[in-house]
Structure 1
Amino acid sequence: MESIETKQPAKQTDQLVREQLAELLKGGFAPNVILLREFDYKKADILLDGLHFSAWILLGHIRARHQTLLRFMQHPHEDIDVWPDAHWPENHKPQSEEEWNKAIDAYAQELQEMIALIKDPATALFEVRPNGKTVSWAAMTALHHTGYHIGQLKTIGRQLGVW
């Protein structure tokens, strides 16, 4: 049986990889931005028993890691520490619905910037950079990290009656 690489020219394979990464960065079948927008901001400050984070803290944590990975993707030739100590916001409550929505809007914008870089054929996805990482690694790390915490957010939301 022939592999997909032997059936498709390299340019088509490259485009396919970029499209799949972009789709997964969005959240695949459960788009992250939609899930965040569905979450009731009035419940974003609730700390369930046994957890050290609220939905607001999760959003802040997701964004902090996302921003670090995006900076690397934007400036891959710099020796950026792509996995610094995790940032967990201390404030567990958004001050207003506007603050909650602005944070989601900022995440959505950062996500679009990341996707634009991934889709750009000029972006070298697999070139190893000074820190030993690649842009494709950063994209996969972002989608994995975000997916993990979006799963936590979804679980919290179910416990709180959001979904």
Structure 2
Amino acid sequence: MKSEHYKSIMALNDDTDKLVREQLVELLKGGFAPSVILLREFDYSKAGVILDGLHFSAWILLGHIRARQMTLLSFMKDPDENLEVWPDAHWPENHVPASEQEWNSAIDQFEKELHEMIGIVRHTGADLYKVQANGKTFSWAAMTTLHHTGYHIGQLKTIGRQLGVW
């Protein structure tokens, strides 16, 4: 029979694990600036504009964000087959989406992939803290995703302000 002290420590650990998972989910969504909402608000007709001094448009940023998120999601889905979690950055060469449908489809895919990652984070059977063969953890992958996405969503928001989107 487990001692009351042990049960209390396990309950604390379960509560802490639940709290960390909830906070990771909130931040993966974008926290106070939800990424999917900001992307959907961005005016498609301005998605291909590259402002003076920058080397990217909103379309390029979206492609870059998606590529990194997909790399980290692939690691979380199958860590043994996806050990390379920080390959060279993918920056799409085409700075303009071919159509509004392509822009919206890319946002849909970003959201779908984000929800897949959130599903893994929420799944209590997924050990967020287990060190994988590459030395990384699922919690690291989730935090890296939220940090990387947040950084570039901030750039997208700045571009949008300069272009009169917001």
Taking structure 2 as the reference length, what is the TM-score of the superposition?
0.93
| d(CA) in 2 for partners of 1:78, 1:126 | 18
Q: Name the structure 2 match of 1:34.
A: 37
In structure 1, the gaps of 5 or more residues are none
Partner of 1:101: 104
- The unaligned stretches of length 5 or more in structure 2 are 1-7
Runs of 4+ in 1 over 6 A off after TM superposition: none
Q: After TM superposition, list the pairs within 5 Å mapping 1:6-155 onto structure 2.
A: 9-155=12-158
Q: Which structure has the bigger radius of gyration?
A: 2
* Count of aligned positions: 159
Cα root mean square deviation, aligned: 1.5
Contact in 1 for aligned 2:74/2:82 (Cα 8 Å): no
Percent of aligned positions with the same letter in both sequences? 70
Cα deviation for residue 76 of structure 1 reads 1.9
Relative to the length of structure 1, the TM-score reads: 0.94
CA deviation after TM superposition for structure 1 residue 10, in Å: 1.0
